[in-house]
């Protein structure tokens, strides 16, 4: 079968699409994008400089080396999550089954992804350089490092592309990259616990870099050519899956509704798992047993939670209120790992009706596992901070435990929030219109962390921790959880109806 | 308690300016089954939604076992409906969904006969699957299975034969006969006359309910 030339088809589509747009709409969009970038860039350029190029290098050799697997690992995992090769949904529906050249159909997508990967790689390289390299580095060296990092970004894309095309090795490689990422985090935390001097020297000169970067460019170019030749062999179902991801990503951005994306990722995760039915514990309340089963089925998440308990150590040099805030937010996120079933119930009460439980019983039972996770996580995090001497004396891990109810309320409230309400009145600001729906939506859940105010103040003040504060926090958290239950659920109603 | 299972009097529902139900009356005696038939859009589902308290009628009176239907746990322990499709819990298998429902109603899963129920609904081979991976017909069977395995006094089913193969229809009809024989009441809507007859329910048309 001879392939139909693709270029005229694409031209025709774009002509028809532009016929439906207002005159000058594209120019207007470009104008607003450039203006938006200029305004945001003007506002946050100082913060960007701190992130990418602080005045003095402030990372030790260990920290700089740890940043490499973290940044590039994240890039690789993100590429794997989103495809990396994707088509728009209409193209996947109409052009994928058409008799057009598969390579030409996919090439623009590959080109765009390669540019994005190169830019992200270069930025990551620049950030490592900015934090770890002395300011004596010449412009030539910086350019070579940046180019090298961009090439590594493209190389990672090509590896992700090969993994997308098939084989179980892709999943195994994902696990290895996750391990490297975790090792990088461990490195950062280790660095924060000691007093390491910023790395000053040991950076290769330009004459060593030129052949290295040249060789890398050659290899990447070769691999890229091979990838383009093999494009036509990417299996259909992988492209369709990636097209769905791209479409959902667009829906999420357009509707400012991140749950579209997170729900899709969750659905895909379970679709790939092979499960064996277990018995729910007869001793525990029924919904507690169900939540526990769900948490135990995702043990790797628990592992990540344990590792993440070390992350507040990175803030040891930051103002103490920031540590307090990180602990509270962390407690909410820890609780959220077990709040998936509340989200299902809040979205559709049909199963709750079949279960015949009141909303009060249901939410009370559903708060147990998030509460325990939040408490244990905070206890680990605060215990570690205190053991490393970053906090004054006192029973900090107990304070962490009594933060359990606070994390439970915040995560369950967050899970019950539902869709973003885009009908809320937009706010007119000098920089344009801000829609309030997503802002209100983002605040529901974290607002309940106010219940952790006693702990936050205690951490911020930096005084030794007294048992009285622990008691006050326990009482505030416990009463807060009771008030939340009493205010947002009823013993004579099944539906959860997130009360706002 | 001599109340009928369902008693509807003078029900009016309209969507915008389109009247769907006009002065509808219906009575389902306790321990009996009634099947409402009629073409698409005639208001069968709307009637079932109103009886299940999932929709507020514009006018009229609805009593379920002598009480007003509501969102209370007591109502939902008495009534099972498949008018709305469920969203299955993530990461929970077919069998675990059935066990969850049993435990929530204080039943011992072994005594409640989960495995037999899954077998009867042709789901025994899919006990370890997650519901979203099932076909639409199997999901319909699972919805009916978890609805029937728990105790209840009134079933409100909207076209339960939908998406089922002929064997499945016969099996479900037989289960409905058992349900009514054991003292349960049944109100359902259906397009399939043979299925309605096999379920033992008294068949009535939507037109005949409007006075």
pLDDT, tens only, A79-106: 988 778 777 777 777 877 778 787 888 8
Do residues A337 and A202 share a domain? Answer: no
Q: Do B100 and A267 touch (CB under 8 A)?
A: no
Q: Does B175 touch chain A (CB under 8 A)?
A: no
Kindly identify which residue of chain B lies nearest to residue A267, measuring between CA atoms: B90
Q: Do A271 and B150 touch (CB under 8 A)?
A: no
Do residues A323 and A185 share a domain? Answer: no
DSSP state of A196: P
Which of A255, A277, A294 delimits the end of a domain? A255
> Mean pLDDT across the stretch A432-439?
75
Backbone angles phi, psi at A353, to 5 degrees: -65, -40
Domain that holds residue A115: 53-255
Contacts of B164 (CB under 8 A, 6+ apart): B137, B140, B141, B172
pLDDT exceeds cutoff 70 at A33? yes
Contacts of B129 (CB under 8 A, 6+ apart): A275, B93, B94
Do residues A316 and A181 share a domain? Answer: no
Do residues A207 and A157 share a domain? Answer: yes
Set of chain A residues whose Cβ sits within 8 Å of the Cβ of B69: none
pLDDT exceeds cutoff 70 at A199? no
pLDDT exceeds cutoff 60 at A498? no
Query: Environment class of residue A217 by beta-carbon count within 10 Å: exposed (0-12), middle (13-18) or buried (19+)?
Result: middle
Residue A22 lies in a domain: no
| CA angle in degrees (0–180, nearest 5) for A148-A152-A156 | 175
Which pLDDT score is estimated for A256? 66
Which of A215, A232, A255 delimits the end of a domain? A255
Which pLDDT score is estimated for A500? 38
Kindly identify which residue of chain A lies nearest to residue B83, measuring between CA atoms: A350
Its ipTM equals: 0.93
For residue B134, what are its two tokens?
Answer: 């099932």
Residue to test with chain A: of B52, B70, B71, B78, most A Cβ within 10 A: B71
Kindly identify which residue of chain B lies nearest to residue A297, measuring between CA atoms: B91
Do residues A211 and A292 share a domain? Answer: no
Which pLDDT score is estimated for A177? 94
Kindly identify which residue of chain A lies nearest to residue B82, measuring between CA atoms: A350
Do residues A314 and A228 share a domain? Answer: no
- Give the range among A113-117, A131-135, B168-172 with minimum mean pLDDT: A131-135
| Min distance B147 CA to chain A CA atoms (Å) | 7
Residue A6 lies in a domain: no
Do residues A377 and A432 share a domain? Answer: yes
Which of A235, A255, A275 delimits the end of a domain? A255
Residue A100 lies in a domain: yes
Do residues A222 and A83 share a domain? Answer: yes
Percentage, residues of chain A above pLDDT 90: 47
Contacting B residues, span 74-113, partner chain A, CB-CB under 8 Å: 76-77, 80-81, 84-96, 99-101, 103-105, 109
Q: Do B91 and A340 touch (CB under 8 A)?
A: yes
CA-based Rg of chain A, rounded to a whole angstrom? 26
Do residues A320 and A204 share a domain? Answer: no
Do residues A187 and A336 share a domain? Answer: no
Residue to test with chain A: of B76, B78, B153, most A Cβ within 10 A: B76
Which pLDDT score is estimated for A230? 83
- Give the range among A13-22, A191-200, A350-359 with minimum mean pLDDT: A191-200
Q: How confident is the model at residue A59 (pLDDT cuts 50, 70, 90)?
A: confident
* Residue A490 CA: distances (Å) to CA of A202, A350, A362, A499: 66, 17, 10, 11
* Residue A135 CA: distances (Å) to CA of A121, A145, A195: 21, 14, 21
Distance, C-alpha A312 to centroid of its chain:
17
Residue to test with chain B: of A265, A277, A279, most B Cβ within 10 A: A277
- Give the range among A11-20, A268-277, A446-455 with minimum mean pLDDT: A11-20
Structure-model confidence comparison of residues B55 and A30, the more confident one: B55
Q: Do B91 and A294 touch (CB under 8 A)?
A: yes
Cis peptide before A247 (omega within 30 of 0): no
Contacting A residues, span 319-358, partner chain B, CB-CB under 8 Å: 340-341, 344, 347-348, 350-351, 353-358
Residue A39 lies in a domain: no
pLDDT exceeds cutoff 60 at A298? yes
Set of chain B residues whose Cβ sits within 8 Å of the Cβ of A344: 87-90
Do residues A311 and A372 share a domain? Answer: yes
Residue A19 lies in a domain: no
Q: Does A447 touch chain B (CB under 8 A)?
A: no
Place of tokens 């204080």: B106
CB atoms within 10 A of CB B21: 24
Do residues A353 and A458 share a domain? Answer: yes
Which pLDDT score is estimated for A288? 97
How does pLDDT run along chain B (211 residues), one tens digit per residue? 579 999 999 999 999 888 999 999 999 999 999 999 988 888 999 999 999 999 999 999 999 999 999 889 999 999 999 999 999 999 999 999 999 999 999 999 888 889 999 998 999 999 999 999 999 989 999 999 999 999 999 999 999 998 888 888 999 999 999 999 999 999 999 988 899 999 999 999 988 988 7
Q: How many domains does chain A have?
A: 2
Dihedral sign, Cα of residue A284, residue A286, residue A288, residue A291: positive
Residue A376 lies in a domain: yes
Kindly identify which residue of chain B lies nearest to residue A271, measuring between CA atoms: B133
Q: Do A270 and B132 touch (CB under 8 A)?
A: yes
Which pLDDT score is estimated for A263? 83
> Mean pLDDT across the stretch A119-124?
94
Which pLDDT score is estimated for A499? 39
Q: Are strands B6-15 and B59-64 parallel, antiparallel or unpaired?
A: antiparallel
> Mean pLDDT across the stretch A51-76?
88
pLDDT exceeds cutoff 50 at A424? yes
Residue A17 lies in a domain: no
């Amino acid at each position: 079968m001879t392939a139909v030339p693709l270029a005229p088809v694409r031209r025709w589509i774009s002509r028809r699409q532009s016929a439906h747009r207002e005159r000058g709409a594209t120019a207007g969009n470009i104008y607003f994008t450039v203006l938006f970038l200029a305004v945001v860039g003007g506002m946050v350029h100082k913060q960007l400089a701190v992130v990418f190029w602080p005045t003095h290098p402030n990372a030790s050799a260990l920290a700089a080396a740890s940043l490499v697997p973290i940044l590039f690992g994240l890039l690789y995992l993100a590429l794997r999550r989103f495809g990396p090769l994707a088509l728009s949904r209409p193209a996947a529906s109409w052009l994928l089954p058409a008799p057009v050249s598969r390579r030409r159909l996919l090439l623009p997508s590959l080109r765009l992804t390669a540019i994005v990967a190169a830019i992200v790689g270069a930025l990551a390289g620049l950030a490592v350089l900015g934090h770890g390299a002395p300011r004596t580095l010449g412009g030539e060296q910086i350019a070579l490092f940046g180019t090298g990092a961009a090439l590594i970004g493209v190389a990672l894309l090509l590896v992700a592309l090969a993994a997308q095309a098939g084989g179980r090795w892709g999943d195994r490689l994902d696990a290895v990259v996750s391990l490297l990422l975790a090792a990088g985090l461990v490195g950062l935390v280790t660095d924060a616990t000691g007093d390491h001097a910023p790395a000053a020297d040991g950076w290769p000169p330009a004459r060593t870099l030129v052949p290295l970067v040249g060789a890398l460019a050659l290899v990447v170019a070769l691999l890229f050519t091979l990838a383009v030749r093999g494009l036509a062999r990417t299996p259909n179902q992988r492209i369709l899956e990636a097209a769905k991801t791209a479409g959902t990503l667009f829906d999420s951005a357009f509707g400012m509704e991140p749950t579209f994306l997170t729900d899709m990722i969750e659905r895909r995760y379970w679709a790939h798992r092979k499960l064996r039915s277990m018995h729910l514990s007869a001793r525990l309340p029924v919904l507690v047993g169900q939540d526990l089963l769900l948490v135990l089925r995702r043990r790797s998440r628990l592992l990540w939670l344990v590792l993440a308990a070390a992350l507040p150590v990175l803030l040891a040099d930051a103002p103490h209120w920031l540590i307090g805030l990180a602990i509270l937010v962390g407690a909410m996120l820890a609780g959220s790992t077990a709040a998936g079933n509340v989200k299902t119930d809040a979205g559709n009460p049909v199963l709750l009706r079949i279960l015949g439980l009141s909303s009060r019983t249901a939410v009370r039972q559903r708060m147990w596992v998030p509460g325990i996770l939040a408490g244990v996580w905070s206890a680990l995090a605060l215990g570690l901070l205190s053991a490393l001497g970053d906090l004054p004396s006192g029973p900090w891990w107990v304070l962490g435990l009594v933060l359990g109810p606070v994390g439970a309320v915040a995560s369950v409230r967050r899970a019950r929030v539902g869709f973003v309400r885009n009908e809320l009145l937009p706010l007119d600001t000098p920089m344009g219109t801000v829609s309030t729906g997503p802002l209100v939506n983002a605040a529901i859940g974290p607002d309940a962390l106010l219940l952790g105010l006693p702990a936050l103040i205690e951490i911020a003040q930096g005084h030794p921790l007294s048992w009285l504060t622990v008691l006050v926090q326990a009482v505030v958290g416990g009463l807060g959880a009771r008030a939340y239950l009493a205010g947002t659920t009823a013993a004579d109603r099944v539906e959860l109806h997130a009360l706002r | 308690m001599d109340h009928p299972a369902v008693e509807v009097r003078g029900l009016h529902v309209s969507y915008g300016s389109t009247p769907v139900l006009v002065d509808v009356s219906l009575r389902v005696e306790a321990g009996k089954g009634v099947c409402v038939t009629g073409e698409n859009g005639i208001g069968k589902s709307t009637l079932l939604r109103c009886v299940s308290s999932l929709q507020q009628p514009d006018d009229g009176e609805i009593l379920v076992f002598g009480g007003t239907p509501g969102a209370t746990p007591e109502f939902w322990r008495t009534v099972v409906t498949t008018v709305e499709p469920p969203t299955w819990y993530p990461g929970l298998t077919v069998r675990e969904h059935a066990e969850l429902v049993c435990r929530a109603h204080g039943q011992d899963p072994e005594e409640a006969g989960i495995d037999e129920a899954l077998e009867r609904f042709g789901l025994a081979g899919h006990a370890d699957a997650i519901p979203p991976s099932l076909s639409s017909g199997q999901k319909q069977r699972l919805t009916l299975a978890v609805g029937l395995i728990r105790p209840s006094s009134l079933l409100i089913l909207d076209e339960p034969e939908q998406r089922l193969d002929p064997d499945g229809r016969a099996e479900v009809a037989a289960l409905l006969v058992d349900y009514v024989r054991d003292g349960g009441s049944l109100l359902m809507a259906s397009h399939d006359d043979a299925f309605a007859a096999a379920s033992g329910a008294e068949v009535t048309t939507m037109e005949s309910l409007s006075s």
